[in-house]
Structure 1
Amino acid sequence: MEIAWTPTPEALEHANVVRLMRRLGFDDYRELQRRSAEDPEWFWPAAIDDMGLEFSQPWDSVVDVSRGPEWATWYVGGKLNLAWNCVHRWAERTPDVAAALWESEDGERHGLSYRELSERVTRFAEALASLGVDPGDRVAFFLPMSPEVSIVSHACAHIGAVQVPIFSGFAAPAVAQRLQDSEAKVVVTADGSLRRGREVPMKEIVDEAVRESPSVEHVVVWRRLGRDDVPMTPGRDLFDSEAMEGRPGTLEPLQVESEHPYLLTYTSGTTGRPKGVVHVQGGFLVSIAREVAYQADAKPGEVVHFVTDMGWIMGPWEVVGGNALGCTVLFAEGAPDWPAADRLWSLVERERVAILGISPTLTRALIPHGRELVERHDLSSLRVLVTTGEPWNPEPYRWLAEVVGGGRCPIINCSGGTEVGACFLSPTVATPIKTCSLGGPALGMAMDVVDVEGRSVRGEVGELVCRRPFPGMTRGFWRDPERYLDTYWRRLPGVWVHGDWASVDEDGYWFLHGRSDDTLNIAGKRVGPAELESAVVAHPAVAEAAAVGVPHEVKGETAWIFCALVPGAEPSDELESELRALVSAELGKAFAPERILFVGALPKTRSAKIVRRAVRAKALGADPGDLSSLENPETLAEIEAVVRG
């Protein structure tokens, strides 16, 4: 792959990571990264000091691995409060800077300064305490992306409660499953929200879920739509304005141990129930702030917007990381391409977004609308593009870099996961970036690519692993330690095996090739779905694709590729032949797909990830597992019908 971006002298001069390098006496970023991974007890305190994060009580030791790396604890003996670091200290220092902005789907706009956010967080924390919420109790919220998620999230941290963000597109059974598993005491929701012009009855969804969730004692309702007919259960339900009425806003943030639980968020598994991922106040704050500061290069007062949901880890990423650095977090209700296909670009122009977060899948979905929709907007405020979610295809990557970024914005393509609490791999604005690359290991991360025996490999595809514990790692799955150990630690003892295929090229750039459980093995040769998909997405008629492996008598496995076409393109035998030829030309005849199937759309989560396991399951007539995170489950019926012919 070619070099897609090179830092200018001006970018280097003002980069946060260059400031850190100078402070620590390094001229070469890779040398800093290497030292940070080898000596965490030196690096992490230095990063905390450089970022200005505050502990109210110093730690006795940086890390304790006495129970093994799987159960490492960080900043042992230290105390802090995440809400202080993200909100209240900024309210003292930059009270009039915007902390949160919001644009609703129907055009409403408002914002909160750090002073206003601090006041509302404190009063809502007092309201939660008055409802009987104690430190360690779980508070779930089911809300559209809005400043209210910031208020609730930081209020939970303020009093030491554990927040449980629930994906705003879930139906009642999925909400109930998370309420039951977490044993939430309070649920915060809205009377409704808008998505693609339709009202989403969020309160009614919660009511149905709470009927099956005996732990819930109170439901607090934000009047998003101002409905007169919202159902309220006396003695249990109250509006947020009632809950905060008369609260003095004087409650001091609770200083908690660094390992005090902060976040319980759920991620879908390939089979069985969703995994409850536990994060703690100290490690999560430090790890996320490190990423937003040194990878995304965010500065105080800059506007950060990620197309996400609080039920995806990138929601807490922007709320914690953005506010910890004194940024302005922009929330947008609804879909990024509704009510107009250029809504996202309008947001960037209107709100002067500096750091934009977007997934590869969403980028591919926006390309067919045409570059003209992008070019009619002034995107000169953009400075950094952050992407994550899945591997890139070269052509959409180049489109984002050139059409959206104007060739001047680096694409900080990072990879980690809900359980990682930030990124394993990421480029930085201090070094050149190759097309589709993830740069290399993020600061403080001891990453490697290994073969089946756990030996390091270069120049070939292997398993992505982490050889040392890190502050942001989950403290286990909620009430299921064995599942946590089985998932990450038992394949190679003492090593975190993440489940991604990766490679490192001759220049030291790292690339991902998809989930190892998505990887195809064709005639003994492993190939990631992204490589097959990239070949067909290069055709101008193909908007996006999902490649899956199906059993084959001779090859062991063969590829089927499901393709969604751009508007105006029509399936044909000729197009099928062209796409098959593209794969053969790119990867070799042995990898030519057995079938190419055309569908109207591919199954995706609200965060725009293609759910390949569901595609493969439908292709094979198997159980697709947990589908609660799908935004468009109707696509699976079409896939099933197309497969049957």
Structure 2
Amino acid sequence: MGDSAGVSVNGQYPPIQELAKTAHIKNFEQYEAMYKRSLEDPENFWGDLARENLDWFRDFDQSVVGTVNKGDVAWFLNGQLNVSVNCIDRHVKKHADKVAIIWEADEIGQGREITYTELLEETCRVANAMKHAGVKKGDTVAIYMPMIPEIAFVMLACTRIGAVHSVVFAGFSADALRDRLIDANTHWVFTSDEGKRGGRTLPLKQIVDVAVDGLDFVRNVFVFKRTHNPEVKMNPKIDVDMDEEMKRHRPYCAAEFMNAEDLMFILYTSGSTGAPKGIAHTTAGYLLYAMITCKYTFDLQPDDIYACVADAGWITGHSYIIYGPLANGVTTLMFESTPMYPDHGRYWDLIQRYKVTKFYTAPTAIRALMARGNDKIKEYDLSSLKILGSVGEPINPEAWKWYYEVVGNRQCYIADTYWQTETGGHIGVGLPGATPMKPGSCTKPFFGIDFVVTDENGNEIKGNDIEGQLCIRKPWPGMARTVYGNHNRYLLTYMSTHKGLYFTGDGCRRDKDGYYFITGRIDDVLCTSGHRIGTAEVETLWWLTVLLPKRL
């Protein structure tokens, strides 16, 4: 399948032998055996992982019931647990002073580090502040915040008391935020006075004020101070100064016993038609899937410094900045800035300073940095890196090779991850110690993911060297359970195109070796000014405005 020098043989690059020695999945044969068991015996495969990797207040009676076709899937029946306990408390018992979060602020040198003990205390203070304001188990809380540690505190505090969080990316307009508040009937909103990104100041509180104007059901807006700008207006009727409020509450809050299928969070995603869909994820299945995909994809080890430089406002931030890494007890880095600020060496600088071992970014960023040449990257020591991840869209072979050869020096595994908001975690990805790599391919399905390639009529196309529409046959723990408040839309969008299958909405090619290549969206097309534009194009343009603000 390749050689140990990191050189392509027949289009494949071998796994990194040094990683394989200590990897959780050490070879392709082990992957194949585990994958086979995950499809043939999901009850015990996922049941074993759930009991080995999560702490439960009450053990579950059965791992899974329901089918994809009916949209009635449930995992870990009658089990009880708490997400924040699994992400914080149990790690405090083992290594209280270990750094949980490294915050890399927009301005170099202004960040901070939060230990697991500090994370527990801050999470509990936020949880107590919410309870004091009347937030109860099952209530929905909106979060419109920049990439500061407090966004993690709030998300984890919601899970601690059983509130359902709805994180809205802090780049969306007041109208977009307002629509999401109305859809989920959200009574509480968390924000900050302002945000910082790429040297720019973002008027977040001002945007929230416009969004909540006239919404009588919004009871409180909780405001953290990021810039401490005295000109940011506070409304004494509903606004709560969280800098002061945090001082009033004790750093202990008992964790709620949550049922495995209790709603954990809503995350809105755009569709081809209609209003944004509130993708709803439940507690145990989502947490386990985020944890296990993070553990195996990035081969997480106790001493890792793991950096996903996405935003918590997207599913990537939920699964692979907050919940996945923290459930595994590693150190996770939160990045407030952009790869181009103050110059295009920002990624390489933070990797060198923190000795980052696992790094996760988007192909658009990789391409933008590749276009700047290799001189800058040569100024930095990137030898700490072991795994380089790619997320958000298929990575083209040219960018893949640059990432592998220049950034990784042919010594790092490239984890090209394919997944969606709806899947909760990776569904197509290679494993560092086991799977040979192919540029442009997400390689093989993750455990429990039964890929099916169909024609446009839903007929399965078997064999290799084929192309069609990508579907999934069997349920997996991380799959979204519904569209919030509209289960019929969930069934129509994902379960009705091809009966008996979950429809990803993506086209794919399966090559002669059984490797998967995602070819693009089938269903999501925007029409503006007479032009048909795919959402991937819009996402790319957005990324460019973030990465190259002074050049557009």
TM-score, scaled relative to structure 2: 0.92
Counterpart contact for 2:69–2:501, Cα < 8 Å: no
State the 1:297 CA deviation.
Answer: 1.1
Q: What amino acid is the match of 2:515?
A: Y
Secondary structure of the residue aligned to 2:426 is strand
| Residue 440 (structure 2) pairs with residue 455 (structure 1) | no
Q: Provide closer, same or farther for how the CA distance between residues 629 and 466 of structure 1 changes in structure 2, counting only shifts above 3 A.
A: same
Deviation at 1:622, TM superposition (A): 6.1
Distance 1:389 1:97 in 2: 30
Please say if 1:620 is aligned against 2:535: no
Question: 1:140, 1:188 within 8 Å by CA — same for their partners in 2?
Answer: yes
Partner letter of residue 128 of structure 2?
A: E
Aligned to 2:508: 502
Q: Tell me the secondary structure at the aligned position of residue 415 of structure 1.
A: coil
Instruction: Give 2:447's match in structure 1, choosing from 443, 446, 453.
Output: 443
Please name the residue that 1:6 is paired with: 14
Which residue in 1 is equivalent to 2:522?
Answer: 516
Q: Secondary structure at the match of 1:96?
A: coil
Specify the alignment match of 1:361 in structure 2: 364
> Tell me, what secondary structure is at the counterpart of 2:400?
helix
Q: Aligned pair in 2 of structure 1 residues 631, 140: CA closer, same or farther (>3 Å)?
A: farther
Q: Equivalents in 2 of 1:346, 1:324: separation in Å?
A: 27
Residues 115, 212 of structure 1: alpha-carbon distance in 2 compared, 3 angstrom cutoff = same
> Is residue 2:355 matched to residue 1:352?
yes
1:243: how far off? Answer: 2.0
42 and 623 in structure 1: CA distance in 2 versus 1, 3 angstrom threshold? closer
What pairs with 1:374-389 in structure 2 (closer than 5 Å)?
A: 374-389=377-392
- Tell whether the 8 Å contact from 1:270 to 1:626 is kept in structure 2 after alignment: no
1:633 deviation in Å? 11
The question of whether the paired residues in 2 share the 8 Å contact of 1:37 and 1:446 is answered with: yes
The answer as to whether partners of 1:420 and 1:472 remain within 8 angstroms in 2 is yes
**Identity over aligned pairs, percent:** 34
User: What SS does structure 1 have at the residue aligned with 2:284?
Assistant: helix
How far, CA to CA, are the matches of 1:634 and 1:416 in structure 2?
22
Match of 1:158 among 157, 160, 163: 160
Q: Contact 1:97 / 1:301 at 8 angstroms: preserved in 2? A: no
Aligned residue number for residue 101 of structure 1: 102
**Structure of higher RCO (CA pairs closer than 8 Å, 6+ residues apart):** 2
Corresponding letter in the other structure for 2:478: G
3-state SS of the aligned residue for 1:434? coil
Distance in structure 2 (CA, Å) of the matches to 1:500 and 1:363: 23
Q: 2:37 is matched with which residue?
A: 35
Q: CA deviation at 1:203?
A: 0.7
- Cα pair 1:140 1:165 within 8 Å, conserved: yes
Q: Distance in 1 between matches of 2:291 and 2:219?
A: 34
Report the equivalent of 1:432.
436
Q: Deviations over 1:309-354 (max 9, x none)?
A: 1221100012000100111111111322112111111111111111
Deviation at 1:235, TM superposition (A): 3.0
Residue of structure 2 equivalent to 1:408 = 411
Deviation at 1:54, TM superposition (A): 1.2
List aligned pairs for 1:306-317, cutoff 5 A.
306-317=308-319
Structure 1 residues 376, 164: closer, same or farther in 2, change over 3 A? same
What is residue 328 of structure 1 aligned with on the other side? Answer: 331
SS at match of 2:506: strand
Query: What is the match of residue 604 of structure 1?
Result: none
Q: Distance in 2 between matches of 1:386 and 1:56?
A: 34
Match for residue 342 of structure 1?
A: 345
Q: How does 1:542-581 map to 2 (within 5 A)?
A: none
Q: C-alpha root-mean-square deviation of aligned residues, in Å?
A: 2.3
Give the total of aligned pairs.
532
Question: Is the aligned partner of 1:259 residue 2:261?
Answer: yes
Task: Map residues 209-358 of structure 1 onto 2, 5 A cutoff.
Answer: 209-317=211-319, 318-358=321-361
Once the two structures are superposed, residues 50-96 of structure 1 have per-residue CA deviations (whole angstroms, 9 ceiling, x without a partner) of: 4x211110001111217965220000000000000011111111111
Report SS of the residue matched to 1:167.
coil
Q: Secondary structure at the match of 2:375?
A: helix
**Structure 1 match to 2:54:** 53
The aligned residue for residue 480 of structure 2 is 474
Indicate if the aligned counterparts of 2:68 and 2:475 stay in contact, CA closer than 8 A. no
**Residues 326 and 3 of structure 1: CA distance in aligned 2, closer, same or farther (over 3 Å):** farther
Q: 1:351 to 1:213 in 2, by over 3 A?
A: farther
Q: Matched residues in 2 for 1:186 and 1:626: separation?
A: 32
Question: C-alpha separation between the residues in 2 aligned to 1:34 and 1:426?
Answer: 16
Instruction: Give the match's secondary structure for 2:357.
Output: strand
Note closer, same or farther for the CA distance 1:392–1:252 as it changes in structure 2 (3 Å cut): same
- The amino acid across from 1:383 in the alignment is K
C-alpha distance in 2 between matches for 1:78 and 1:237? 38
Query: Following TM superposition, by how much is the alpha carbon of 1:196 offset from its aligned partner in structure 2, in angstroms?
Result: 2.6
Once residues 454 and 240 of structure 2 are traced to their aligned partners in structure 1, the CA distance between those partners, rounded to angstroms, is 54
Cα distance in 2 for partners of 1:456, 1:262 equals 36
**Counterpart amino acid of 1:12?**
A
Q: Residue 507 of structure 1: CA displacement?
A: 1.7
Match of 2:114 in 1: 112
Structure 1 residue 273: Cα displacement: 1.1
Q: State how far apart, in whole Å, the 1-side matches of 2:437 and 2:484 are.
A: 38
Against the structure 1 CA distance between its residues 492 and 84, is the aligned structure 2 distance closer, same or farther, given a 3 Å change threshold? same
AA aligned opposite 1:198:
R
Q: Tell me the distance in 2 between the aligned counterparts of 1:630 and 1:67.
A: 32
Letter in 1 for 2:473: R
Separation in structure 1 between the aligned mates of residue 460 and residue 137 of structure 2, nearest angstrom: 44
| Alignment of 1:182 onto 2:215 | no
Cα distance per residue 1:266-286 (max 9 Å; x no partner):
111223211100001101101
Q: Which residue of 2 aligns with 1:92?
A: 93
State the 1:132 CA deviation: 0.5
Amino acid at match of 1:122: C
Change (3 A) 1:629 1:215: farther
Post-superposition shift, 1:122?
Answer: 1.0
Q: Is the 8 A contact 2:416 2:442 kept in 1?
A: yes
Cα deviation for residue 455 of structure 1 reads 1.5
Q: CA deviation at 1:215?
A: 2.4
Task: Give the Cα–Cα distance (whole angstroms) in 2 for the partners of residues 634 and 301 of structure 1.
Answer: 34
- Quick one: which of 406, 420, 423 aligns to 1:420? 423
Cα separation, partners in 2 of 1:113 and 1:455, compared to 1, 3 Å: same
Q: 1:74, 1:471 within 8 Å by CA — same for their partners in 2?
A: yes
2:490 match: 484
Question: What is the distance in 2 between the residues matched to 1:625 and 1:448?
Answer: 24
Q: Is the 8 A contact 2:297 2:429 kept in 1?
A: yes
CA distance in 2: counterparts of 1:61 and 1:196, whole angstroms: 48
CA apart distance, 1:188: 0.9
What code does the residue aligned with 2:21 have? E
**Paired residue type of 2:414:** I
The answer to whether the Cα contact below 8 Å between 1:488 and 1:497 also exists between their aligned partners in 2 is: yes
Stretch deviating more after TM superposition (497-506 or 8-17): 8-17
Name the SS for the 1:152 alignment partner.
helix
Q: 1:632 to 1:437 in 2, by over 3 A?
A: closer
User: 1:562-589 CA distances to partner (integer Å, 9 max, x unpaired)?
Assistant: xxxxxxxxxxxxxxxxxxxxxxxxxxxx
Structure of larger gyration radius: 1
